[in-house]
Amino acid sequence: MLQDIAQALAYAQQKDREDELGSFRSRFYFPRAPEGEMIYFCGNSLGLQPVGAEDSIQQELTDWRELAIGGYWQARNPWMSYPASLRGALARIVGCGEEEVTVMNALTVNLHLLLLSFYRPGGQRRKILMEAGAFPSDMYAVETQVRWHGYDPREAIIEVAPREGEKLIREEDILAAIDRSTDSLALVLIGGLNYYTGQFFDIQRITAAAHAAGALAGYDLAHAVGNVPLRLHDWEVDFAVWCSYKYLNGGPGAAGGAFVHRRHTTDPTIPRLGGWWGNDESSRFKMQKGFVPKATAEGWSMSTAQVFNMVCLRASLALFEEAGIERLQAKSRELTAYLASLLAPLEGPVFRVITPVEPDRRGAQLSLLFNDPERGRKVQRELQEEGVVTDYREPGVIRVAPAPLYNSFEDVYRFCHILGQLL
């Protein structure tokens, strides 16, 4: 047994020596424990702070102090075009054109704004299909949108659930539910990667099925952006929203993101709530009546750019650009596979991993379902005491998410060794 442990540790250390992205670890701050850095596997809830974030904030404070209103045009990073400066990196992360993506508001605010544009029920076509067990904010948003239009959520919302005795939703069940609702379906709204199980849905197939049924397709990508490969434009996704504080490391309260496909951004007839920042720039300062939306995703923006809610995201996106999203996703697959291999001998009567085993159906997160939820809560507390940061979600799941931008193979080894001792 000791030989196996030594071999596992040696393997992890060798992988870290070979890791061409390993140096990025030093460009983040880790929370501290009495014995040193904590093992941080909670990037799916809140990413770590980039070392460059403090200087980035200081730069904006300096420009505000020295330039005042002149900062909108003369700051090192002019505030007037601040969201546009983030679009290139985000477009490469989500797979779209720069004009199809923007940074604004927060996730659920953006979801409501885009639902106002893309959930347009009429006649029999008024139903929204979503996965059962979606993140609560999505459930609340859909429920209240349906009520806003005067419908009963019990009748207008279709939920696709796992089959009896299963934890994952079979995609053929989603496709079958879409097919059964061809005459009544207005919108498919799916969490691209389920927060609880870590299941990554086939966005391309689901979108194609929705369109074939005469419906639109939108996605909450909070747990997918910066985590799994995305090709939103090529997949013909109608719209998507996400937060920036998880894998994108934008900091608590960071501005959210939104994608709107080009076929919609160039259609000024699509209803939306207008605001000064979403108006066409050529007439923005004419101060006259008549909202003319920009022919980009920014046409859904409403208010002046929240620079201080975007500045840390800018610092993090610079690291994504330097590392390269393809290299990060390749490392993530290796890290997660290594985590799964070390967890396998520990699975049994206490817990089991419910995240899909196929690499293309999951991201960085593995979800450990404890047969006794109280035991799961206890293990979560004990991990914290041992300097390991994961998170617990009811009922009975500890979520473990090694982020490739700052986590190491030795982090994975140390976590599994500690977990084994606790069990």
Residue with tokens 């300096």: 62
Cα 226 to Cα 233: distance, rounded to the nearest angstrom: 16
pLDDT at 6: 67
Cα 152 to Cα 236: distance, rounded to the nearest angstrom: 30
What are the backbone dihedrals phi and psi of residue 81, each rounded to the nearest 5 degrees, phi first?
-115, 20
| pTM exceeds 0.85 for this model | yes
CB 98 within 8 A of CB 262: no
Q: Helices in 250-372 by DSSP H: which ranges?
A: 262-265, 281-284, 311-323, 325-343
CA angle at 303 for the pair 98 and 264, rounded to the nearest 5°: 40
Query: Quick one: which of 226, 187, 228 has its CA closest to 206?
Result: 187
CB 227 within 8 A of CB 240: no
Cα 74 to Cα 141: distance, rounded to the nearest angstrom: 39
pLDDT at 2: 37
CB 230 within 8 A of CB 93: yes
CB 133 within 8 A of CB 194: yes
pLDDT at 419: 97
CB 203 within 8 A of CB 176: no
Domains by residue range for the chain, with CATH:
2-51+324-422 (3.90.1150.10), 82-320 (3.40.640.10)
CB 103 within 8 A of CB 311: no
pLDDT at 7: 83
* Number of neighbours of residue 66 by Cβ within 10 angstroms: 11
What angle do the packed helices 325-343 and 2-18 form, to 10 degrees?
A: 180
pLDDT profile of the chain (423 residues), mean per 10: 67 96 97 89 98 97 98 96 96 98 97 98 95 96 97 97 97 98 97 97 98 98 98 98 98 97 96 92 86 95 94 98 97 97 95 97 98 96 96 96 98 96 95
What b-and-e string marks burial along 141-158, b requiring 16 or more CB atoms within 10 Å of the CB? bbeebbeeeebeeeebbb
CB 227 within 8 A of CB 332: yes
Query: Quick one: which of 84, 139, 40, 79 has its CA closest to 410?
Result: 40
Query: Quick one: which of 84, 94, 47 has its CA closest to 277?
Result: 84
Strand pairing category for 257-260 and 239-242: antiparallel
Residue 215 is classified by DSSP as -
Query: Quick one: which of 332, 298, 297, 142 has its CA closest to 219?
Result: 142
SS3 content of the chain, % helix, strand, coil (to 5): 45, 15, 40
CB burial of residue 365 (10 Å; 0-12, 13-18, 19+)? buried
- SS3 state at 258: strand
